[in-house]
Structure 1
Amino acid sequence: MAQGQEQDLAPRAPFDSMLTHARTRSSQRADVIPQQPQNRAWHGSLAHLIAAKGGIRPLYRHVQFKRAVAEELAFGHAFLFVPVFVGSGALVWFWLPQTPGPLKLALLMCVFGMAFFALRHRPGFWRTGILIAALVTTGMALAAWETARLGTVVLDTPVTTWVRGTVTARETTDRGYWRYTVALAKTSDPQLGRPPLRITLLSRSRETPVNIGGGIEGRARLSPPSGAALPGLNDFAFDSYFRGIGAVGYFYGKPRSVPGSEGTGISGIATWRAGIGETIARWREAVGARIRGTIGGDAGAIAAALVTAEERAIGRPTIEALREAGLAHVLAISGLNMVLAAGTFLIGARTLLSLVPGLAHRFAIKKLAAGGALIMVFAYILISGGAVSAVRSWIMISIMLIAVFFDRPSISLRNVALSALIILAVTPSAITGPGFQMSFAATVALVAGYAFWRERPGRESLPATRAANRWTGPLKAAGGFFAGLLLSSLIGGLSTMIYSAGHFHRLAAYGLVGNLLAMPIISIFVMPFGLLAMLLMPFGLDRYPLLVMGQGLDWMISIAQMVASWGGEVTTGRIPQQAFLLIAAGGALACLFRTWLAISGLMIVAAGLVVVSLSGMEQPDMVIAEDGRLVAMIRQAQASSNRTKPPDFVFSQWQRALRLEDHRGPQQKPELAIVDAAEAASGEEPTETRATKPPIDRDAARNVIRTLLANAAPGRFLCVAKQWCAGTAAQGWRIVTVDDARFIGVACDEADIVVTPAMLRFRTCRSGALLFSGQSLRRTGAVEIYGTGAGTADKADGRAAMRVVFAQAQLQRPWAQHRTYDWRSGQFDAGELVE
């Protein structure tokens, strides 16, 4: 028996040396890892593994993995993944076409909660899996609760009506117009049966605007918030729903100021909250107007945006230059702005307090300065508009300042995770937007990079080196500043690159250079003097600090224009969704892990890059806007549309998503216009606003459409203004777009695809042609059509078969349900998209 025991213990000597070697190669702070109790059964299995041929390497890997996991748990890194799984649950809930009801979610939470409680003392795979499932379900429940709690009423169809309400906020544009946010109280002529509670309206009048809190009325054109310009792009109706905006539009003429409207249907706490919101809105507007009036130009508009987040007053060329130079993040009130403001206040207040004789000996002036900075950042978030990036920064800065009171380290990933959890608990819908994703991605990467730099090997020997070379102190300080700037710009740019490509479909090739040139100016001249101006503004002494701030912003704009002139913007187009998820998830793992497990994140990122390089996105052959007014045939990097000047809001998104480099407008044939007898006799031109029109000559119309189809250049539209356009796609499809609804019947007889913005009561053509009308597009959203190959046996003319993809596939969801509302019957009908 003793001999057998000796044989069993014989392999343990090399195994112990292997463990010693693994322990030496692990983190230098491994001594804080709690000693795990030995499991004799586990050690018995080790003996069999070691005795087996080739068992050493799998055992070594297994032990290394267990040690890495133990180290991650010892440092509390498991908490960092809590917001990851909660946010994943929210994303799943928003992504699903149909979601489980609240009772099912509550039941799932109860089941997973009880299962986790039962296994709370038994660590292992099942406990971890149940905890993850519980966190994911919690995220889904939070998303469902926010959606049900808001209940925003979204306008179902465009309408012109008389509106009356109360101005809750207003903002000027770069053209001097005013955009109002109105709490709608009444509509008339016609009266809406399902009116939204809040709307935004543009007034093109440059006269004295209506005050915040005052009543406003006028005739306005209201429309539902637009959906995605293409399948997979940003759905603006989703954003409007969670901002509480039910309609957008503009006033006809100048709106009138009236006494404050009543009967908005709110009372009690809601009235109190509305009053506070109006007061803060007045503060924001007064501060923004003061800054713009003092500095002027785009520099003044940017300065106001840095304080109040009102960006509409900035000229479009300047915004584009900032984006192409990689400086658009400066406009968002994010960690950069908040850290510079809080840091400037903290250092300045501490310096001033230290000058008071004897004060530093009686009080902790660092904590006094931190308390003042805490009050300052709270005032900053009040007037900043409450964007996700600003709220995240405010929470993190507040935690950091509170940590000063307790003499605890403030910069850590736990603070980032805590701020993410707070935002997800209140507004889980924020996780779907680029603001949340880019803000947290950059912050996590920078904090993780800072931790790696702080704990790098050999750092302990640096103080002695500095003491021996004190004469080089200023030079090293300057070098350290620019090295830190270079490193932070590089980390921030790399960490947000995938989100910029995924959401905006473009990258700034020279963004690193732009940040290196502009950030010293922002750090030295813009934010510190902006903070000083805000502190002195109540005393009327803000003029000269604002002028210094404006000069710095002028330099920043010049740098942006110079970098943008190099033509460094890279249009990425749409990237595969699988690649986006892989790269985003891999980047998160690489930053959240502190051991060699971070390599797994880099491997996942590499897999995502491989997917991008190998798959690519299929290019549609034809795209249709959701209102039916803009249609384009796509051929490689060229778009041929039916509009000479397509609307920039939609077409610019098409250009970036589809990587379009050239646009060809239609050719015009005014001599082929069909004028009916009544119009010819009166000498009037055809108008779209006439309530009734006489029938057209169908034979003449048929000859015209055949002429258009025969004479149109391949892949290009030939148009008769205000009537119709026709063209033949490379796939052989005959496409007709119709502006005058009287031509629909003839177009259906002669075309394969018919598109019209008219709200038709029928959904199909008798000839079998594919019909997209304003009524059907209202339910489907934007449309992409793909050719599935050359002509088939059933298409002797060589026309390719079609595959149609709709942008809107979630008609049951609250932010899209308005598309199925019938105002005649007052009911929702979420039936088939196309009959």
Structure 2
Amino acid sequence: MPVALGAGIAAWFILPSAAQWFAFCCAMLSFGCTALFLPQGARIRQVVLAGALLACFGCVLIWGKAMLFGQPPMARPLFTQVAGEVRSVQAVPAQAMVRAMIRPIARPDLPATIRVNIAEVDVPAGLGAGAVIRFRSRLMPPAQPSLPGGYDFALRAYFLGIGATGKALKPVEVLKASNAPPGLRARLFSHILSRVDGPAEGIAAALATGDQGAIADADAEAMRRSGLAHLLSISGLHVTALIGAVIFLLMRVLALSRRAALDWPLMMIAGAGGALAGIGYTLLTGAEVPTVRSCVAALLVLGGLAMGRDAITLRLVAAGAIVVLVFWPEALVGPSFQMSFMAVTALVALGEHRRFRAFATARDERRWRKAARLLAVTLATGFAVELALMPIALFHFHKAGLLGAFANIVAIPLTTFVVMPLEAAALLMDSVGAGAPFWWLTRQALDLLLAIAHGVAGSPMATMLAPTTSAAAFGIAMTGLLWMLLWRGRMRWWGAPPLVVAMALALLAPAPDLLVTGDGRHVAVRTADGMAILRDRAGDYVRDSFSESAGFDGALSALADHPAARCSDDLCAMHLTGGGRKWRLLFTRSKVRIDRDPFEKQCADADIIVSDRRLPRWCRPRWLKADSRLLRRTGGLSIDLRSGEVHTVLQPGDAHPWIAPAAGWPRPQLYRRSRPASLP
């Protein structure tokens, strides 16, 4: 059921236009009608009929939600003064700012909700939910991927109801102060930050509230590279530990009463208490997809145990996936949903395998053999999860962990049995003013966790890098992987060939020779010495985007310093070999108007020219002119000179509602100053 439902949802995201969405639904209904001619009572008839109807329902479900609840983006950037009501405020201490969701007042030209960043030094008194503030800001449509295969914030913002983003410029005036006290989550977040010092404070706050805004970028990157990032997202580990602790404590406390121990169903009562604790924890931490999935799974486990059933099965995972897909179908295309459910599916499928279950079953044996068996089981499950998540990590992040199984052997027990109990005890003891010793111990344990993360992340074998993976290869990999995990017996191995082929395509895919961001300002060129960037003052976000899309883990050098490049203040030209020929590349570097005669000759001699301005029609390179006029229609570019392939962020005719129409953008500015197009 979840596979068929997810196939319909995925079809809506993959197919570009409403006509094709409608055609997909008609095709699925026709398959369903075809199934009616199959023999009655046959399983294939049930599979085809149910699968076709669920796929059609999935496409209609996400289509309907997008039309009814999505927020279209702004058509063009706008510098304006905004007065609006604050819906929510989120502190981001790691970036010295707060994020506020604003509902503009008396501005029908603006989206219903905008998100603005306010620097900590500019945050006025009285800012909070319900406040009315006024500020100036340059509002932008939510950012589309800067490069092919990059993170699509515009898609996420559309379903979150965010139509524009910007930064509030000082002064930020409070027209009406908030009289609502901060929510429990915000108070808990601030309290933990006040009790824990150093880098550990962000980890401590994330474990309790799910808010990762206080984690430094270096620590977050180390957790990702070491395969420990799942500890920061409130998911199965945290929910299970909390519910298990609540059940254990309730059982012990209730058993102190003789009457309760003899007459009451203690397991049922303790299970109900654990279920309530899990639901409360899920709501407290923001009800993200991994948390909801974990909470649903935990409730199903408790229900199965109450009925005397084997609760840990693939049906458990399927039930959780159906709940998430019905209420949040857009989550399917996000890495959180994919990695969360794939990891759990791999663990349950491995646990259901008869040979693994026979090996992992507890038995009477010496302690050292029991410890060795437990270590082997832990390593096996860790490797299974790493292998299952590798295609997803390569597709979304262009990197996959290789040492995560070893890091998790220490990190998971440390988090589950040391950090979380200490933090819970510290919060409990703070109610009587005696939490300081527990907070000190919590900080020491978290410092050890960060030391493990940085140590593993610093290894040259910590991650496997790959350039942007095609959606086709990713789809083949997911099909093969799901086939292997969901089938039983020898048929499961039929999924191995497509999985191997897809992984080979991803790992052996050629790295792009030229990367261009959607605004045309930033360009990265692959050279024999590594990667060179046009503007060496580009920020970390741009550099990281180039490195990930190219599958490159080194430092980006300045293109002007490369021996094959000739650069002035206005232009930069270089020769690059690829596909059995030499390519002449030309890039603009300034906003100054260049005289026509020399610049026209430079254009004619170039094979590819990239510019963040709108170039005149008489500028005609031999192969490609990627100026602002073209980039507004294509978005960022990835160019492979060996094959002559050009990949774009935006696809022709893409009618998904979060894509701002290029026709609504303002005309490019005119340049009045003039400078000769001289190159050294």
Interval of TM-score (by shorter of Structure 1 and Structure 2):
0.7 to 0.9
Note the C-alpha offset of 1:258.
2.3
Assess, with a 3 A threshold, how the Cα gap between structure 1 residues 475 and 729 changes in structure 2: closer, same or farther.
Answer: closer
Q: Which residue of 2 aligns with 1:144?
A: 63
Q: Say whether residues 1:593 and 2:494 are aligned partners.
A: no
Q: Say whether residues 1:735 and 2:589 are aligned partners.
A: no
Find 1:218's aligned residue among 135, 139, 144. 135
Assess, with a 3 A threshold, how the Cα gap between structure 1 residues 478 and 603 changes in structure 2: closer, same or farther.
Answer: same
Find 2:75's aligned residue among 138, 153, 156. 156
C-alpha distance in structure 2 between counterparts of 1:97 and 1:103, whole Å: 11
Find 2:172's aligned residue among 224, 233, 255. 255
Normalization by structure 2: what TM-score?
0.87
Bigger Rg, which one = 1
C-alpha distance in structure 2 between counterparts of 1:257 and 1:811, whole Å: 44
CA contact (8 A) 1:167 1:182 kept: yes
Find 1:651's aligned residue among 540, 543, 547. 543
Q: Which residue of 2 aligns with 1:787?
A: 641
Assess, with a 3 A threshold, how the Cα gap between structure 1 residues 812 and 588 changes in structure 2: closer, same or farther.
Answer: closer
C-alpha distance in structure 1 between counterparts of 2:341 and 2:6, whole Å: 12
Deviation per residue, 1:553-611 (Å, 9 max, x gap): 12111211222233323322234544433332222222212222222233443343454
Find 1:293's aligned residue among 174, 190, 194. 194
Helix, strand or coil for the counterpart of 1:402?
helix
Gaps of 5+ in 2: 668-680
Assess, with a 3 A threshold, how the Cα gap between structure 1 residues 433 and 395 changes in structure 2: closer, same or farther.
Answer: same
CA contact (8 A) 1:641 1:664 kept: yes
CA contact (8 A) 1:764 1:771 kept: no
Find 2:568's aligned residue among 699, 719, 722. 719
C-alpha distance in structure 2 between counterparts of 1:178 and 1:343, whole Å: 37
Q: Which residue of 2 aligns with 1:84?
A: 3
Q: Which residue of 2 aligns with 1:777?
A: 631
CA contact (8 A) 1:765 1:771 kept: no
CA contact (8 A) 1:498 1:580 kept: yes
C-alpha distance in structure 1 between counterparts of 2:504 and 2:86, whole Å: 51
Q: Which amino acid aligns with 2:168?
A: F
Compare relative contact order (CA 8 Å, sep 6+) and give the higher one, 1 or 2: 2
Q: Which residue of 1 aligns with 2:648?
A: 806
Q: Which residue of 2 aligns with 1:323?
A: 224
Assess, with a 3 A threshold, how the Cα gap between structure 1 residues 200 and 454 changes in structure 2: closer, same or farther.
Answer: farther
Helix, strand or coil for the counterpart of 2:134?
strand
Helix, strand or coil for the counterpart of 2:80?
strand
Note the C-alpha offset of 1:114.
6.0
Q: Say whether residues 1:553 and 2:446 are aligned partners.
A: yes
Listed as ranges, the matches of 1:409-448 within 5 Å are 409-448=310-349
C-alpha distance in structure 1 between counterparts of 2:37 and 2:177, whole Å: 58
Helix, strand or coil for the counterpart of 1:358?
helix
Assess, with a 3 A threshold, how the Cα gap between structure 1 residues 123 and 516 changes in structure 2: closer, same or farther.
Answer: same
Q: Which amino acid aligns with 1:737?
A: T
Note the C-alpha offset of 1:95.
0.6
C-alpha distance in structure 2 between counterparts of 1:458 and 1:749, whole Å: 74
Q: Which amino acid aligns with 1:182?
A: M
Note the C-alpha offset of 1:183.
2.6
CA contact (8 A) 2:290 2:336 kept: yes
Note the C-alpha offset of 1:106.
6.8
Find 2:560's aligned residue among 662, 667, 683. 667
Q: Which residue of 2 aligns with 1:203?
A: 118
Q: Which residue of 2 aligns with 1:384?
A: 285
C-alpha distance in structure 1 between counterparts of 2:617 and 2:645, whole Å: 17
Normalization by structure 1: what TM-score?
0.72
CA contact (8 A) 2:239 2:294 kept: yes
Note the C-alpha offset of 1:327.
0.9
C-alpha distance in structure 2 between counterparts of 1:233 and 1:208, whole Å: 32
Assess, with a 3 A threshold, how the Cα gap between structure 1 residues 635 and 667 changes in structure 2: closer, same or farther.
Answer: closer
Helix, strand or coil for the counterpart of 1:808?
coil
Q: Say whether residues 1:755 and 2:610 are aligned partners.
A: yes
C-alpha distance in structure 2 between counterparts of 1:515 and 1:420, whole Å: 25
Assess, with a 3 A threshold, how the Cα gap between structure 1 residues 349 and 477 changes in structure 2: closer, same or farther.
Answer: farther
C-alpha distance in structure 2 between counterparts of 1:572 and 1:450, whole Å: 31
Note the C-alpha offset of 1:445.
0.8
Identity %: 25
Note the C-alpha offset of 1:223.
1.7
Assess, with a 3 A threshold, how the Cα gap between structure 1 residues 728 and 572 changes in structure 2: closer, same or farther.
Answer: closer
Q: Say whether residues 1:564 and 2:457 are aligned partners.
A: yes
Listed as ranges, the matches of 1:632-651 within 5 Å are 632-636=524-528, 638-651=530-543
Assess, with a 3 A threshold, how the Cα gap between structure 1 residues 303 and 91 changes in structure 2: closer, same or farther.
Answer: same
Q: Say whether residues 1:310 and 2:165 are aligned partners.
A: no
Note the C-alpha offset of 1:123.
1.5
Note the C-alpha offset of 1:455.
7.7
Find 2:404's aligned residue among 502, 506, 511. 511
Assess, with a 3 A threshold, how the Cα gap between structure 1 residues 453 and 112 changes in structure 2: closer, same or farther.
Answer: closer
C-alpha distance in structure 2 between counterparts of 1:421 and 1:717, whole Å: 57
Q: Which residue of 2 aligns with 1:53?
A: none
CA contact (8 A) 2:39 2:45 kept: no
Assess, with a 3 A threshold, how the Cα gap between structure 1 residues 622 and 533 changes in structure 2: closer, same or farther.
Answer: same
Assess, with a 3 A threshold, how the Cα gap between structure 1 residues 776 and 451 changes in structure 2: closer, same or farther.
Answer: same
Number of residue pairs matched? 654
Note the C-alpha offset of 1:809.
0.5
Helix, strand or coil for the counterpart of 1:732?
strand
Assess, with a 3 A threshold, how the Cα gap between structure 1 residues 667 and 475 changes in structure 2: closer, same or farther.
Answer: closer
Listed as ranges, the matches of 1:222-233 within 5 Å are 222-233=139-150
C-alpha distance in structure 2 between counterparts of 1:483 and 1:788, whole Å: 46
Gaps of 5+ in 1: 1-81, 262-274, 669-711, 790-801, 826-835
Of stretches 122-131 and 156-165 in structure 1, the one that deviates more from structure 2 is 122-131
Deviation per residue, 1:490-545 (Å, 9 max, x gap): 22222212211221111223222211122221121122333445566677765554
